[in-house]
A and B are shown apart, each in its own frame.
Chain A
């Protein structure tokens, strides 16, 4: 039984970049800043490609929502081994207000449209840290979900997934079709080799708009302000425990 796998990947500011808040305090500076694929999504793509290499999957489709530059992200996925790509075009301005719910609706529609039996996404994006898309998509599709996956094994019509949770590791069995979100230790993504990047040029990327999938991207939230976290203040040294207690009382902490 060979699966068709849909993988969501997001273009985010590169993890190594020092983020700066925009002067208008409504977001961060993205102009001229290095962007790359969300690290957790890389892990998701890698897992899907490995499933294909193990012959568990028959096709890997990479999906990305965003402006024109999102195609760079899809091409990276293709260079890593995905077979084809879908670019859901969302202009940069709208992208700032796009929410996990919108993305989930889009992914759910695409999963149905493409006949996917497995949807893998990264557990969260490193820009908004929502950690919601996988869960919402599963709910919309009424599919079981296996989030924070650190190991995936296929057994007949089900997946055996080891999840990394606060208490340790939890192993669950989910029936297919299912939604999985990738965690850090699931795998180590491969480098896209230069010959593969060249081959990826020939793979197809289909473009569409959210409206084509019947998804409304009106924002439900409004960003009020974006600011730097307060800078760390210096600490104070105290002579003894009594001084410590009185200082804490002064600060209203006890």
Chain B
């Protein structure tokens, strides 16, 4: 039995649980130290607070609950009902603080950010960047003791809704803190944190994340940049080149991933990935010319070359050879914010499209009276509702649980939100018709900016595999015994008989609903709760089917379509959970328009379950009845032919 180890490992990154470790995901723990009492405005020089000897460090250690991974357990048919209680992680103080912070940020973006100019000149004006630094936006998740704002995931996600107004700025900020310096927060030593975080927090230094290379994009484990240790063991020499590095043209600090040799006890030398903190000032660091891009044109993207760059040994981030895990943890921890940033943009442009639709008249009616236009706004609202709900549910998990394992949930948020942002951005443009296509309106710019969302931070294809394989790996271990029996029916008649009844029900698309999910929701959502339960059961059945069908070959390249279906089901189930959880809470506590929310949630569940029904049917049918194997054959013909393989329609064979 062949196991495509490489692909599995590359996609999953590590063989144990994908923990998401976020540096400051502990809003209750605040180290209270003596404040630097000068009352001046935060200047751009680094401010580190001094510890007073007299004042004891106050740490209120609130033990947070540990919960099992939600989506991964769904592969086993286990549904954590806690998820149906929408999280409320911010206490009154933090809630007020967050909403006070939103005000100047929104104003800044409204008054000081000229998105059109940034796009046209492919540059963010230095005054604008300085304004962002002065506002404190460069150190959102850096702990207060290092000069940052010490915000948690929820606050970060909320602010991302605003910074997303300009794609170039959003990416510049994210490249700096969500990935560029995140490694130091997650895996850095205290010395590394003290040395680098203060100037990163105030924006004196900008950070970048250097992983991708010309021949290593999705397959991050195949990078070729190398670092060799000096004889005396004090310095690593870094050599290699990275491409498409955001902030790469001017970043002062880079988290660089390189292969380092590891000598095994057998004498064999293996290459493993190690993460390094590299200062531009170390020497040997140069950048190429900025790339001319389709969108996010103001964000600086370029090649970065390392030519015998000396890196002190104390700048290794995490363990030597443990770099891949660091990289995956970093990427996992920032992904979920794409849900809120996507929702932020869509809400804005939807507002503009709506303004147009209620003023523009054709055929004697306002556009907003036509059903086709109404449908767009309705579906868009449902999608935005799902994006927001998932983003903040995931953020709530990160902030509210002890070392939450939500790598799969974060991936789901990223895939769903990027595709929704692209699709609905396009529909908003469509509503404006010809005007939407013109550069004098911002829609085409938003669309161009949004396209990258499906590609970076893990392409959606890779993430779908990640979602499916993570879940299968989690489930597979537990189900190993069961799957063996399923694959060996003649040897396990008793088990098959017992399982048989269950499977007969599933064959008839009539699973037994025994989870009572609707009990955890407001009664008005009962029907949707039952639909969710049905989907969970069908999903579990399809997981068993896929595992039984392929066994360990499940990760083989030719089985990707089945995995993608599992991933799509998992995505829809997570989204359903999020929207029901949120709508139930909204209705129970009586927020304004809560009945509208209930309507959005129920509509989403209705459509999602229809999708899941189809996908499970396709999985059940297998690759030969669904078109998977046919597609493979067609693709092979095209590949062999070197292009489109059908003869031109005008071809004559005889006269």
Binding site for B on A (CB under 8 A): 32, 36, 53, 72, 75-76, 79, 81, 83, 190-199, 201-202
The one of A32, A76, A190 that contacts B41, using a Cβ cutoff of 8 Å: A190
Q: A191-B108, A199-B35 are in contact. Are A81 and B41 (CB under 8 A)?
A: yes
- What residue of chain B has the Cβ atom nearest to residue A202's Cβ? B35
Cβ of B552 within 8 Å of any chain A Cβ, yes or no, is no
In whole Å, how far is A232's beta carbon from the nearest beta carbon of chain B? 16
With a cutoff of 8 Å between Cβ atoms, the chain A residues found around residue B100 in the complex are: 72, 75-76, 79, 192, 197
In whole Å, how far is B633's beta carbon from the nearest beta carbon of chain A? 58
Majority secondary structure, B binding face: helix
Q: Is the CB of B108 within 8 A of A194?
A: no
Cβ of B39 within 8 Å of any chain A Cβ, yes or no, is yes
Instruction: Tell me which of B134-142, B207-215, B217-225 binds A.
Output: B134-142
In the complex, A202→B93 CA distance in Å?
A: 12
In whole Å, how far is A226's beta carbon from the nearest beta carbon of chain B? 23
Q: Is the CB of A76 within 8 A of B103?
A: yes
Q: Is the CB of B42 within 8 A of A191?
A: no
In the complex, A76→B103 CA distance in Å?
A: 9
In whole Å, how far is B199's beta carbon from the nearest beta carbon of chain A? 15
Cβ of B625 within 8 Å of any chain A Cβ, yes or no, is no
Interface string of B30-58 (1 = CB under 8 A from A): 00000100011110000000000000000
In the complex, A193→B135 CA distance in Å?
A: 4
Q: Is the CB of B104 within 8 A of A191?
A: yes
Q: Is the CB of A194 within 8 A of B101?
A: yes
Q: Is the CB of A81 within 8 A of B104?
A: no
Q: A81-B39, A201-B97 are in contact. Are A194 and B135 (CB under 8 A)?
A: yes
Q: Is the CB of A193 within 8 A of B41?
A: yes
Q: Is the CB of B136 within 8 A of A195?
A: yes
Most buried by B among A53, A193, A202: A193
The one of B41, B93, B107, B149 that contacts A201, using a Cβ cutoff of 8 Å: B93
The one of B35, B97, B104, B592 that contacts A193, using a Cβ cutoff of 8 Å: B104
- What residue of chain A has the Cβ atom nearest to residue B136's Cβ? A194
In whole Å, how far is B351's beta carbon from the nearest beta carbon of chain A? 13
Q: Is the CB of B149 within 8 A of A194?
A: yes
Q: Is the CB of A198 within 8 A of B103?
A: no
With a cutoff of 8 Å between Cβ atoms, the chain B residues found around residue A197 in the complex are: 97, 100-101, 104
With a cutoff of 8 Å between Cβ atoms, the chain A residues found around residue B40 in the complex are: 53
Q: Is the CB of B592 within 8 A of A32?
A: yes
Q: A76-B100, A192-B104, A193-B136 are in contact. List 13 more A-B contacts (CB 8 A).
A: A32-B592, A36-B103, A76-B103, A83-B39, A191-B131, A191-B134, A191-B135, A192-B103, A193-B41, A198-B149, A199-B35, A201-B93, A202-B35
With a cutoff of 8 Å between Cβ atoms, the chain B residues found around residue A83 in the complex are: 39
Q: Is the CB of B149 within 8 A of A191?
A: no
Binding site for A on B (CB under 8 A): 35, 39-42, 93, 97, 100-101, 103-105, 107-108, 131, 134-137, 144, 149, 592
In the complex, A18→B436 CA distance in Å?
A: 25
- What residue of chain A has the Cβ atom nearest to residue B110's Cβ? A16
With a cutoff of 8 Å between Cβ atoms, the chain B residues found around residue A201 in the complex are: 93, 97
In the complex, A34→B144 CA distance in Å?
A: 30
With a cutoff of 8 Å between Cβ atoms, the chain B residues found around residue A202 in the complex are: 35
In the complex, A53→B38 CA distance in Å?
A: 12
Q: Is the CB of B39 within 8 A of A193?
A: no
In whole Å, how far is B378's beta carbon from the nearest beta carbon of chain A? 22
In the complex, A190→B103 CA distance in Å?
A: 13
- What residue of chain B has the Cβ atom nearest to residue A71's Cβ? B96
- What residue of chain B has the Cβ atom nearest to residue A72's Cβ? B100
In whole Å, how far is B151's beta carbon from the nearest beta carbon of chain A? 9
5 contacts between A and B (CB under 8 A): A75-B100, A81-B39, A194-B104, A194-B137, A197-B104
Q: Is the CB of B42 within 8 A of A195?
A: yes
- What residue of chain B has the Cβ atom nearest to residue A53's Cβ? B40
With a cutoff of 8 Å between Cβ atoms, the chain B residues found around residue A79 in the complex are: 100
In whole Å, how far is B595's beta carbon from the nearest beta carbon of chain A? 16
- What residue of chain A has the Cβ atom nearest to residue B40's Cβ? A53
With a cutoff of 8 Å between Cβ atoms, the chain B residues found around residue A191 in the complex are: 104, 107-108, 131, 134-135
With a cutoff of 8 Å between Cβ atoms, the chain A residues found around residue B108 in the complex are: 191
With a cutoff of 8 Å between Cβ atoms, the chain B residues found around residue A72 in the complex are: 100
Q: Return the 6 tightest CB-CB contacts between A and B, nearest first.
A: A194-B136, A191-B104, A195-B42, A195-B136, A192-B104, A194-B101
In the complex, A40→B135 CA distance in Å?
A: 22
In the complex, A160→B108 CA distance in Å?
A: 32
With a cutoff of 8 Å between Cβ atoms, the chain B residues found around residue A196 in the complex are: 41-42
Q: Is the CB of B97 within 8 A of A198?
A: yes
In the complex, A193→B136 CA distance in Å?
A: 6
- What residue of chain A has the Cβ atom nearest to residue B108's Cβ? A191
With a cutoff of 8 Å between Cβ atoms, the chain A residues found around residue B39 in the complex are: 81, 83
Most buried by A among B40, B41, B144: B41
In the complex, A195→B101 CA distance in Å?
A: 9
In whole Å, how far is A195's beta carbon from the nearest beta carbon of chain B? 4
In the complex, A75→B99 CA distance in Å?
A: 12
In whole Å, how far is A71's beta carbon from the nearest beta carbon of chain B? 9
In the complex, A72→B93 CA distance in Å?
A: 12
With a cutoff of 8 Å between Cβ atoms, the chain B residues found around residue A190 in the complex are: 41
In the complex, A81→B42 CA distance in Å?
A: 11
- What residue of chain B has the Cβ atom nearest to residue A37's Cβ? B103
In the complex, A190→B135 CA distance in Å?
A: 10
Most buried by B among A76, A198, A199, A202: A198
With a cutoff of 8 Å between Cβ atoms, the chain B residues found around residue A76 in the complex are: 100, 103
In the complex, A194→B39 CA distance in Å?
A: 14
With a cutoff of 8 Å between Cβ atoms, the chain B residues found around residue A192 in the complex are: 100, 103-104
In the complex, A193→B35 CA distance in Å?
A: 17
In the complex, A81→B108 CA distance in Å?
A: 18
With a cutoff of 8 Å between Cβ atoms, the chain B residues found around residue A81 in the complex are: 39, 41
In whole Å, how far is A59's beta carbon from the nearest beta carbon of chain B? 11
In whole Å, how far is B162's beta carbon from the nearest beta carbon of chain A? 12
In the complex, A235→B338 CA distance in Å?
A: 51
Most buried by B among A72, A81, A195, A198: A195
Q: Is the CB of A193 within 8 A of B103?
A: no
With a cutoff of 8 Å between Cβ atoms, the chain A residues found around residue B35 in the complex are: 199, 202
In whole Å, how far is A65's beta carbon from the nearest beta carbon of chain B? 20
With a cutoff of 8 Å between Cβ atoms, the chain B residues found around residue A198 in the complex are: 97, 144, 149
With a cutoff of 8 Å between Cβ atoms, the chain B residues found around residue A195 in the complex are: 42, 136, 149
In the complex, A51→B97 CA distance in Å?
A: 27
In the complex, A191→B93 CA distance in Å?
A: 21
- What residue of chain A has the Cβ atom nearest to residue B47's Cβ? A195
In the complex, A83→B37 CA distance in Å?
A: 12
- What residue of chain A has the Cβ atom nearest to residue B201's Cβ? A195
- What residue of chain B has the Cβ atom nearest to residue A192's Cβ? B104
In the complex, A195→B49 CA distance in Å?
A: 13
With a cutoff of 8 Å between Cβ atoms, the chain B residues found around residue A199 in the complex are: 35
In the complex, A32→B592 CA distance in Å?
A: 9
In whole Å, how far is A224's beta carbon from the nearest beta carbon of chain B? 31
Q: Is the CB of A193 within 8 A of B93?
A: no
In the complex, A202→B35 CA distance in Å?
A: 11
In the complex, A10→B134 CA distance in Å?
A: 26
With a cutoff of 8 Å between Cβ atoms, the chain A residues found around residue B149 in the complex are: 194-195, 198
Most buried by A among B100, B107, B135: B100
In whole Å, how far is A26's beta carbon from the nearest beta carbon of chain B? 22
In the complex, A178→B645 CA distance in Å?
A: 88
In the complex, A36→B104 CA distance in Å?
A: 11
In whole Å, how far is A189's beta carbon from the nearest beta carbon of chain B? 10
In whole Å, how far is A157's beta carbon from the nearest beta carbon of chain B? 26
In the complex, A192→B41 CA distance in Å?
A: 9
- What residue of chain A has the Cβ atom nearest to residue B100's Cβ? A197
In the complex, A197→B97 CA distance in Å?
A: 7
With a cutoff of 8 Å between Cβ atoms, the chain A residues found around residue B104 in the complex are: 191-194, 197
With a cutoff of 8 Å between Cβ atoms, the chain B residues found around residue A36 in the complex are: 103
- What residue of chain A has the Cβ atom nearest to residue B147's Cβ? A195
In whole Å, how far is B460's beta carbon from the nearest beta carbon of chain A? 33
Q: Is the CB of A193 within 8 A of B42?
A: yes
In the complex, A202→B144 CA distance in Å?
A: 15
